[in-house]
Amino acid sequence: MKHSFIKVAAVSPEIRVADPAFNATKIVEAIEAQAKKGTELLVFPELSISGYTCGDLFLQSTLLEGCLTALREIAAATENKKMLVFVGLPLAHGGKLYNCAAAVSDGEVKGFVPKTHLPNYNEFYEARYFSPAPAGTSWHRLGTEEDDGAYLSAELVFRDETHPEIAVGCEICEDLWAPVSPSSALCAKGAAVIVNLSASNETVGKREYRHKMIAAQSGKNICAYIYSAAGEGESTSDAVFAGSSMIYENGVCLAERLPFSGSDCEAEVDVGFLLAERRRNSSFRADTETDDWPDASFMTDGDLTLRHVDALPFVPKEEGERKERAALILDMQAHALARRLSQVHAKTAVLGISGGLDSTLALLVTVRAFDLLGKPREDILAISMPGFGTTLKTKNNATALIQATGAKFMQIPISQTVLRHFKDIGHDPEVKDTAYENAQARYRTMVLMDVANETGGLVVGTGDLSELALGWCTYNGDHMSMYAVNCSVPKTLVKYLVLAEAERLGGRAEIVLKSVLGTEISPELLPPDEKGEIAQKTEDLIGPYELTDFYLYHMLRRGDGPAKTLALAERAFEGVYDRATLKKWLVSFYRRFFAQQFKRNCVPDGVKVGSVSLSPRADLRMPSDASAALWLSEAENL
């Protein structure tokens, strides 16, 4: 098994109405082609063995017997293949006729799932021929021997015999549209993947409606949903069928077969993520206490070939979506800060402005908050505190930024005061150790707090989510504030927020903000190099922020372990970082993440803007002395 991924496909082959032998040939050809691709779960359309538009021919025993013969041929084609296949056929059982999906694997039929909800409107009159799924479970004999057959029930869940957590449920077309869909009950029984064999015809607007229905169903049931629709070959007497198929995972579309495109719909579904999400979701309850689920052998150890892995999971890929997301986040931050300023009757907002990305974003948010409250921007006290490591570029950026926003500029140099502090505590300023660096950060925080007290103000924190994850902040220094507006914004997203605001503001502000965006990330606590440029580069010390954010997202949002995370990182950053580099920073990430929890357990209030947050009150409940041994052992031995 590929780190709990399963390769799935929805295929709509050419068919002939009422010609099971021809249809079986085409289905077997598709099975063979998909087997070469490593597909493990393959779904064909509704009544794909007979054709959906047979009409009264469904009542002919000749057609029914021909479909059973074709089913045996299709089942035989799965022998010695790691694949679970769903095909549709009419099935006579117990004196009734059912519209069924047959699950076949290992060369045999594993079960029959009858359709529960039958349409009887417009051009569809299924109730004329078929009966709705009966209650309970019964045995359908296929041959002369008692054990030659399979269970028939709308409640069947099929699982892989070596990975029983990979469980598949099935419903048929109209079942999805019913007020209470069978798939909801199947998910409650433990199915993480739902297949739908459909013969939904094509009309204007129907494709968009299907997307909404499937997105909602897969999202609320935290499942993967593979929808395979009938296409070429169905009768066009009263309707046309376009083979419009799609694959969803927890509300997100992974793949689609466009109407009339003739292509296959293929994707790799992350069942591990779905199960992790279900564990996290307290409203999801699964009753998996059953021993009679049909077993099949369909999971393999092949490599991922289809799955796109985002290198920047916190950043939308499309420019339009990025701008829309940025506008929403900035509004969320500004309204949250405005509420806090109003609640505490703050006369001023106090910020330390370094000329770097985080403090720039915090200032932009504060300006928005003051505009919302109708407060004068000059009551924003933006303080530049140059120290031992401050370069001319960042100092100029800070000054220009403050002036461009209309905030009140204050400059309080800290070098001489910190040197006196070194003398008081007996520290040699030539020793550039932790005390040397943190004394500067703590003194800056003291200045901000004291100015806030002096002016009846509130200190706005600037630290971001990525720094908090790694503990890249000075305890009781920049770690502390009175309200933290960036605390759930990852570093890879910060620059897009600043860029969006630069483009919105234009003019002088845009020029300054783009200068900030082009500056090396650094805490500037160590002296500049001989050229007067930044010597202390953050990403050289703690790793590239794009890796930090990738690892953080996959650990907390997807529930992935070290091995899976590294495998996905190799795919996402192929050609950018080699495996050794990815592993080095992955080990570093786990080590820092666990060791620095004590800082996160006492952070100030701050607004949550995304699905990942480290607040000890609302999101991450983790002891400060938790051991990282399990994670480090797995990561180091990869």
Active site (catalytic) residues:
46, 115, 173
Residue 452 has phi, psi (to 5 degrees) of -60, -45
- C-alpha 78/C-alpha 367 separation (Å) is 64
One-letter amino acid at 195 equals: V
Strand 380-384 relative to strand 408-411: parallel, antiparallel, unpaired?
parallel
Closest of 462, 410, 417 to residue 440, by C-alpha = 417
Count of H-run helices and E-run strands, the chain: 20, 22
Say how far apart CA 324 and CA 596 lie, in whole Å.
33
Task: Determine the 3-state secondary structure of 491 from DSSP.
Answer: helix
SS3 state of residue 509: helix
CA distances from 473 to 59, 342, 442, 523 (A): 74, 28, 10, 9
d(CA 24, CA 47): 12
Sign of CA dihedral 60, 62, 64, 67: negative
Separation of CA 633 from chain center: 26
Contact 565, 617 (CB under 8 A): no
Rounded Cα gap, residues 358 and 463, in angstroms: 6
Closest CA to 105 of 293, 302, 307, 304: 293
Instruction: State whether residue 471 is helix, strand or coil.
Output: coil
Q: How far is CA 226 from CA 6, 9, 184, 403, 464, in A?
A: 12, 8, 14, 55, 38
